[in-house]
Amino acid sequence: MATVLVLVNMVGTGIFLLPVSMASVGSISILGWGVACVGAAAIGLMFAMLGATKPEAGGPYAYAREALGPYLGFQTNYIYWSANLVGNIAVATTVTGYFTELFPVFSGTFRETICTIAIIWLATAINVAGPRWVGLFTGWGTVLAMVPLLIVGTLGWFWFQPEIFLAGWNPHGVSEWHAVSESAAFALWAFMGVESAAVASGVIENPKRNVPLATMIGLVIAAVLYVVTCTVLMGIIPIEQLAKSNAPFAVAASQIAGPIGGIVIALCAVFKAGSSLIGWTLTISQSANAAAKDGLFPSIFAQADARGIPVKNLLVSGVLMTGIVLVTISSSLSQQFTQIIDMAIILTLLPYMYSGVAFLKISNVAGCARWHHYLVVSIVAVVSVYCLWVVAGSEASLTRSALILLLASVPLYPLITKMKTGES
């Protein structure tokens, strides 16, 4: 079950539009997957060993708070929450992309924007209705998600054309270093969620055995699914067409199984993406709720109704996500998706690096053997290099925006803790 948790969180909606972002680089992005798999393996192993050594519910936030103090704990939660808030917009954009493939009447910048906002508020409403509804939608969404992956990932190879794949190798003629760096940055989106078992280690039976196994098995399965499906799509759909597609799996399925196949795949993707948005809306509300109870986030995020549901928390998140949609409006859904996931990826890097520092500190306190210490240092070094490489491969404007958001945490911390002190 822990392996399923990791797999479900990693193989989310990114798989349905990520091939579009990779196509903007070219089929040379297959090399970026290689780099990303090494970096993700190090991140996964780090969280696996953290969960086995010191099971701590809360993941990056809990590790940073305990090892580095309340301020960096606050900053980690603030960034992790912000990254997932931004990431939810990418999820909603995926739903819109496949929805407009089914119903072209909703195409167009204005109508797509309204559709995305409506999807966000529908997910919020389902969360307000209660966890039973959340569980119902996410459970069925997980089952349906495997349909397009299995069809395209297996049958798609019969329609794979090497000449199409090679023709789109490096369409923009950029250096191999730049292409690999950019695609490795995009690929990190696929591996976000690798920390899931470590986050839930407090409720996993025998975490010293099951957390590392679940993390690494889930990582391997997810990596195979992503690499295989992205590669086969680049050999079915010409790279220029794939880079502009709002629903690549539906397009490929139409070639494999005809128009009916495209419709079925689009329906599965809509339901999976929608259910994933519902689940991640719950996740970010719980993250903010936990930090607010510790006095490290605004108290409104800790308030709940008689059913124990943080309604105000959910409504505030809905308003913020609506604002992000409006700020990132683009004439192309695929372009908006790429811009949003780039920001979410950059924001996620800081919690990963803070977790690395916590990993070093916890290992030192635990009095591990010398070989174990060298292993920890090596893992943290790979994680750090990969995170810095992702930053180097990202657009300067988005990196600047992420830095501004990070620096905003400095004046927010004393303000929030003062408010908490005043309340108590």
Tens digit of pLDDT per residue, the chain (424 long)? 777 667 766 766 567 778 888 898 999 999 988 888 888 889 988 887 887 777 665 678 788 888 888 888 888 888 888 887 877 887 888 788 878 878 888 888 888 889 989 999 998 998 888 877 777 777 676 667 677 777 788 888 999 999 999 999 999 888 888 888 888 877 887 787 777 776 666 557 787 788 788 888 888 888 888 889 889 999 999 999 998 887 788 888 888 878 887 788 778 777 777 877 887 787 778 777 777 887 878 888 888 888 888 888 899 989 988 988 887 776 666 666 666 767 777 888 888 898 899 888 887 765 667 777 888 999 999 999 988 888 877 777 777 877 888 888 888 888 877 665 555 4
- Total H helices, total E strands in the chain: 18, 0
| Backbone phi and psi for residue 205, each to the nearest 5 degrees, phi listed first | -65, 135
Q: Between helices 333-365 and 70-102, what is the axis angle to 10°?
A: 150
Residues with Cβ within 8 Å of 200's Cβ and at least 6 positions away in sequence, in order, are 2, 5, 57
Q: How many Å apart are CA 132 and CA 116, to the nearest integer? A: 24
Q: How many Å apart are CA 45 and CA 356, to the nearest integer? A: 11
Q: How many Å apart are CA 143 and CA 177, to the nearest integer? A: 38
Give the pLDDT confidence score for residue 199 in this predicted structure.
Answer: 63
Q: How many Å apart are CA 344 and CA 402, to the nearest integer? A: 9
Q: How many Å apart are CA 47 and CA 54, to the nearest integer? A: 10
Q: How many Å apart are CA 188 and CA 178, to the nearest integer? A: 16
* Residue 334 contacts residue 20 (beta carbons within 8 Å): yes
Given 3.10.129.10, 1.10.287.3510, 3.40.50.10420, 1.20.1740.10, which CATH number is that of 2-423?
Answer: 1.20.1740.10
How many CB atoms sit inside 10 A of residue 144's CB?
17
How many CB atoms sit inside 10 A of residue 188's CB?
29
C-alpha distances in Å from residue 210, one per residue of 55, 104, 215? 11, 46, 8
Chain centroid to CA 76: 16
Q: Would you list the domain boundaries of the chain?
A: 2-423
The structure tokens listed for 29 are 């992005």
Q: How many Å apart are CA 314 and CA 85, to the nearest integer? A: 11
* Residue 417 contacts residue 297 (beta carbons within 8 Å): no
List helix spans (H) across 151-247: 162-167, 176-191, 196-199, 207-234, 239-243
Q: Between helices 370-392 and 333-365, what is the axis angle to 10°?
A: 160
Give the pLDDT confidence score for residue 134 in this predicted structure.
Answer: 75
Give the pLDDT confidence score for residue 424 in this predicted structure.
Answer: 47
User: 3-state class of 91 per DSSP?
Assistant: helix
Q: How many Å apart are CA 400 and CA 416, to the nearest integer? A: 25
Q: Please state the pTM of the whole predicted model.
A: 0.76
C-alpha distances in Å from residue 196, one per residue of 122, 140, 164, 206, 271? 25, 20, 37, 16, 22
For residue 87, the surrounding DSSP H or E stretch is helix 70-102
User: 3-state class of 245 per DSSP?
Assistant: coil
Find, among 95, 243, 250, 244, the residue nearest to 182 by Cα.
Answer: 243
